[in-house]
Structure 1
C-alpha cells in the first residue's frame, strides 16, 4: 500500500510557507501527498499582482495557480487541487465539505496538515482548520455514504501561523528538514507574488531548526513546527 498524506491549505501559497518541508520530505520517501488549495488568495494575499497595470481577478487567479503548481512540482506533490472558494472571506459550504470528505475517503491519508485553530489576522485560516477537521469527522462516520470504506484516525498537525504568539499556537512537533531545505527554498521562490515573505519564512525555518537541535541530539539547521491535535499513539517511549 502506498502511504498518503493530505494538506488542506486555505490559500494557494500557505502549503509552501508552512508545510513545504514536510511535503518534500515525505514525497522523497515515496508518499503520495495531496494538496487541496481551497482559495487562490486572490483578494487578500496578492497585493503585488494588484499593483500591476490592468490587473483583473481572473489574471490574479491564473498567476497564483501558476505559482502554486510550480512550487508543488518542486516539492514532489502527487496531486494539487484548486477549489476556487474565494478569500477574505472564504466561502465554505456543505457541498465543499462533502467534497473534502470524499477526498479523505478516496486517499485515506496517513496524516493531515492544516491551519491553526486561531488567527486574529486572517479569519480564513481558523475557518479552514475547523472545516478540515469537520470533514475528517464526517469521513469517519459509518452512516455517511455507507457503501464507502470509512476513514480511520489519521493524526492532524496544525502548521505554523504567521504570528504564532498571537494565535495561541505552540509547537509540540519539530521536524528537521535539512535534507529537503533546498527544495523548500526553491518552492518558496516560485511564489513571486509574495516575495516579501521569502526571507521571513527562511528565518522561521532556521529558528525551528535551532529549536529542533536543542531538543534532540542531532545537528539540525532548518526545521518546521507543528501542533498536534490528538494524542500520539506509540508502541514505545524511546
Structure 2
C-alpha cells in the first residue's frame, strides 16, 4: 500500500484570505508533496467585494459566483489539493453547529500535520477571530474520542495564525518566519486572480518583501544568512515538543 502524502489545512474566513496571508505557505508545501486543503467559510460576498458591488445591477449570487471563480483560480495557481466553500455568509459569519461539525469532519478526514488560520483578535474584521475561535473549537471536538465513536480522532496539529492586515491592532506577534522566495511567483499569480480586491495586490507584495528582510536577518543576516527575498510570518498557538534546541 502506497504511503499517503502529508497534509495541511487552511481555514479562511473569506475566499481571498488564504491567498494574501498564506499563499506562500500553501505553494511551498504543495511543492514539497503536501496535499493542502483550503476551507473558505464564506465568499466575502457582502463585505469584501466592493469592486463588484459598484457595477449597476449586481446581485448577491453574481458576487458569490465571481468570488468562487477567483478563489478556485488562485487555488489552482498555488497547487491546492482541495478547496471547499461552506457558504455560511459574511459580515458577520453565520457560524452554526452544523458548520462546526462539518469542519470537524473535514479535520478528521484531512488529518493535517498543521492548520493555518487568522489572528485571535481583529477589531477591524470580527469574521477573522470568529474563524479562529471556530477552528480551535473544532480542533478540540475532532480530538474527542466520544465524538462519533469509531472514527479516527485528530492528533495534535499545530495551529499557525497568519498575518492580519494591521498587526499592531490585532495583538499578533510572529514567532515563525517562512521563506517563500522559491514560490513567490505562484503566490503573486494567485494574488492576481483576486480581481475583486485589486487594491491589495501591492500591499501584500510589500508585506512579503518586509517579511523576507526579517527572515534573512533572523537566519544570520550579514553574518551569512539565507538570501531570502519574500517571506510570510506566523504565530504558533501550541508548544512544540522537541528533543533538542
TM-score by length of 2: 0.96
Runs of 4+ in 1 over 3 A off after TM superposition: none
**1:45-124 → structure 2 map (5 Å cutoff):** 45-124=48-127
CA–CA separation in structure 2 for the residues paired with 1:221 and 1:235: 31
> Which whole-Å deviations, capped at 9, do the CAs of 1:33-83 have from their partners, x for residues lacking one?
000000000010000000012110000000000000000000000000111
CA–CA separation in structure 2 for the residues paired with 1:63 and 1:14: 15
**CA apart distance, 1:215:** 0.2
**CA apart distance, 1:139:** 0.3
Q: What residue is the counterpart of 1:9 in the other structure?
A: 12
2:67 aligned counterpart, secondary structure: helix
State which of 137, 146, 149 in structure 2 corresponds to 1:146: 149
Structure 1: gaps (5+ residues):
none
1:100 aligned counterpart, secondary structure: helix
State which of 34, 38, 41 in structure 1 corresponds to 2:37: 34
User: 1:226 aligned to 2:207?
Assistant: no
**CA apart distance, 1:234:** 2.1
Q: What residue is the counterpart of 2:192 in the other structure?
A: 189
1:131 aligned counterpart, secondary structure: helix
**1:150-189 → structure 2 map (5 Å cutoff):** 150-189=153-192
User: 1:235 aligned to 2:238?
Assistant: no
**1:15-30 → structure 2 map (5 Å cutoff):** 15-30=18-33
CA–CA separation in structure 1 for the residues paired with 2:57 and 2:153: 48
Structure 2: gaps (5+ residues):
220-224
CA–CA separation in structure 2 for the residues paired with 1:236 and 1:204: 32
CA–CA separation in structure 2 for the residues paired with 1:85 and 1:105: 21
**CA apart distance, 1:152:** 0.6
* CA root-mean-square deviation: 0.6
Of the structure 1 ranges 169-178 and 228-237, higher mean CA displacement relative to structure 2 is found in: 228-237
1:185 aligned counterpart, secondary structure: helix
> Which whole-Å deviations, capped at 9, do the CAs of 1:209-230 have from their partners, x for residues lacking one?
0000010021101000000000
User: 1:214 aligned to 2:217?
Assistant: yes
CA–CA separation in structure 1 for the residues paired with 2:68 and 2:99: 19
CA–CA separation in structure 1 for the residues paired with 2:148 and 2:168: 40
